[in-house]
Amino acid sequence: ETEATVSGPLKKEFLKADILLSGLKMDMEYHLLPYVKDKGGRITYLEKIRFKTSKYNLNRKDIHIRDPFIHVDRENKKYYMYANDNPRIKVYESENLEQWADLGAAFTATPDFWG
């Protein structure tokens, strides 16, 4: 009796499971190799799952800001939105004005910034 390995035989049967993955990076391809372990401790690998995370992780409706400034980068066909998120100026990037990637803070005010 041999133990299944990544290159070993795979089972292609229907199995329903919900999983939640956190800490994934944007615009990356991931591969999962799920397996089941029976009561005897034997491992059976299931069919590989491939997926890619979105480059843009925010929808326009999820961004709650007022009076943003949008810069159009015609050369790269991208939009950059700058918005006040006290004490920071946040930057978001989009290709379609609907889905946005949070690029972080362009500026963060120090506690004594305003005097």
For residues 13 and 36, membership in a common domain is answered with yes
Q: What is the pLDDT of residues 9-22, one digit of tens each?
A: 555 666 677 778 88
Which has more pLDDT, 47 or 4?
Answer: 47
Q: What is the pLDDT of residue 2?
A: 44
Average pLDDT of the chain? 82
Query: What is the band of 71 on the pLDDT scale with cuts at 50, 70, 90?
Result: very high
- Whether residue 115 is contained in a domain is answered as no
Domain residue limits at 11: 1-53
Residue range 39-59: mean pLDDT, rounded? 83
For residues 4 and 45, membership in a common domain is answered with yes
Asked whether the predicted pLDDT for residue 35 surpasses 90, the reply is: no
58-59, strands of its sheet edge to edge: 58-59, 99-108, 88-94, 78-85, 69-73
Asked whether the predicted pLDDT for residue 69 surpasses 90, the reply is: yes
For residues 2 and 33, membership in a common domain is answered with yes
For residues 12 and 41, membership in a common domain is answered with yes
- Whether residue 113 is contained in a domain is answered as no
For residues 28 and 12, membership in a common domain is answered with yes
- Whether residue 10 is contained in a domain is answered as yes
Q: How many domains does the chain have?
A: 2
67 dihedral zone (left: phi>0; alpha: psi -120 to 50; beta): left
DSSP, residue by residue, 16-70: -------SPPTT-EEEE--EEE-TTS-EEEB--EEEE--S--EEGGG---SS-EE
Q: Find out whether the peptide bond into 111 is cis, omega within 30 degrees of 0.
A: no
Asked whether the predicted pLDDT for residue 4 surpasses 80, the reply is: no
% of the chain residues with pLDDT over 70: 87
